[in-house]
Chain A
Amino acid sequence: MPETTPDTTAYLLLGLTAAFGLVMLLIASMVLRYRSLLKDEQTVSQLLQDENS
């Protein structure tokens, strides 16, 4: 009797979600940190400008 192929599609989907989820997590973390730094840069630049004037 031939062996049937198991249905492991759910694990495949879980694996893809984990892989792309981790990539997206790093990207989201970088975007958040970048935005926060841009705000900081703007604030500090403004303060420096005020000090100069």
Chain B
Amino acid sequence: MAAQNIQSVPTAVEPSRASRLPRALVALTIATALALAVGLYMALVYAGMESTQGNVQRIFYIHMPSFFGAFLAFSATVVGGGMYLRTRQTKWDVLALAGVEVGLMLSLVNLATGSIWARPIWNTWWTWDPRLTSAAIMGLTYMAYLMLRAGIENPEQRRRFASVYGILAISTVIMTLIIIRIRPDTIHPAPIGGSPQDAQGDFNLTPSMVTALLTNLPIWGLLVPITLMWWRIRLENLRERVDSLKIRLMEK
């Protein structure tokens, strides 16, 4: 394996491919930053204020889309893991890792915003409700993925184990997604379709709220995860290159 890495490394003085920045990535990053500003405007200015909750309800325009961003990133982990197991090409493992790191950050955004929103509405920062518990388990599951990777020295074994784990871990995401449909005792409202019978803090979306939500969904659900994953992939590619150079130096 090490020998394969050494062979793939160009001469030491050759400039790093990682230092060349693709134009598409620059354009995507600028577009994402601008879109985030637009999304914020839609959430804070365009959407009307919810009369029973006040301004805190505007967190919704980040809280829900960030979950879908995490879902996309974790789906990339499934694709990357599956493709790595099939082809054994490192690039797929890099995609899987990028998906976990970005997905974990977005699920933490989802958890943090949910907790802050809950404080004035449910009068608590946290409760062991089925939806909240499953979201916490999801976050912990993906933290464990990173710990698993850090704990295995052999690169090939690490990639193989992480691929299998990343594929299995998606079950926690699906469970978080569907739990409000299968557990009627959750207090978490469902913004789409009917809420569970015990839901607290239900609200009706006005047309301006729907527009703000539909604007923020592709921003937090697509643009943010894709842009960040691309940057993370570049970082991992550079790490792979540096590791190969180190092996080459040690074998001299």
Residues of A within 8 A of B (CB): 3, 5-9, 11-12, 14-16, 18-19, 22-23, 25-27, 30, 33-34, 37-38, 40-41, 44-45, 47-49, 51-52
Number of interface residues of B (CB under 8 A): 45
Among the 9-residue stretches B151-159, B179-187, B240-248, the one with 4 or more Cβ atoms under 8 Å from chain A is: B240-248
Given A14-B116, A45-B13: A5 in contact with B105 (beta carbons within 8 A):
no
Residues of chain A within 8 A (CB-CB) of B19 are 38
Q: Is the CB of B245 within 8 A of A44?
A: yes
Asked if A19 and B113 make an inter-chain contact with CB atoms under 8 angstroms apart, the answer reads: yes
A44 touches B242 (CB 8 A): yes
Contact across chains for A48 and B249 when beta carbons are under 8 A apart? yes
Measured CB to CB, the closest approach of chain B to A43, in angstroms, equals: 9
Interface string of B52-92 (1 = CB under 8 A from A): 11111111001100100000000000000000000000000
A contact residues around B58 at 8 Å (CB): 12
Query: In the complex, A49 Cα to B246 Cα: how many Å?
Result: 13
Q: Is B25 an interface residue (CB 8 A)?
A: no
